[in-house]
Amino acid sequence: MSTENYVCIACPIGCPLELVHEGDQIVDVSGNKCVRGAKYARQEFTDPRRTFSTTVPIEGSNWARLPVKLAAPVPKDRILEAAQAVHQLRVQAPIRMGEVLARDLLGLDGVNVVATRSLGRA
């Protein structure tokens, strides 16, 4: 059997997690103070995913860039590809907070690029 160690990022406490496995089979998860920690460790072991926030250029606004985020995490090994795709976006004011700027990024269901603030026209 082998162990993997993680730090839970589901809340600010940051519980140290230990996942015991035999090959691909998870045997035990410990160190978590709640079920979210166990879920996080299992996700990290089987299908690690990440999300990010960034900005994209906007035209027709008093601001040069619009803050955006991914609405759902992407597989960790595709995060660079996702960032490159997001940084190719160009948007036009006005934009409303929550507006979807791109759907199903990289063909991944629900991985939408969403505006995190409203920006009106200049």
The residues binding ligand SF4 (CB under 6 A) are 8, 10-11, 13-15, 32-34, 36-37
How many CA atoms, within 13 angstroms, populate the side-chain half-sphere of residue 77? Answer: 3
Our CB check for ligand SF4 shows the closer of 39 and 69 to be 39
**46, 58, 115, 120 from 54: Cα distances, Å:** 27, 13, 10, 19
CB of 30 to ligand SF4, least distance (A): 11
CB of 49 to ligand SF4, least distance (A): 16
Nearest residue (beta carbon) to ligand SF4: 37
**Best CA proximity match to 44, nearest among 13, 73, 84:** 73
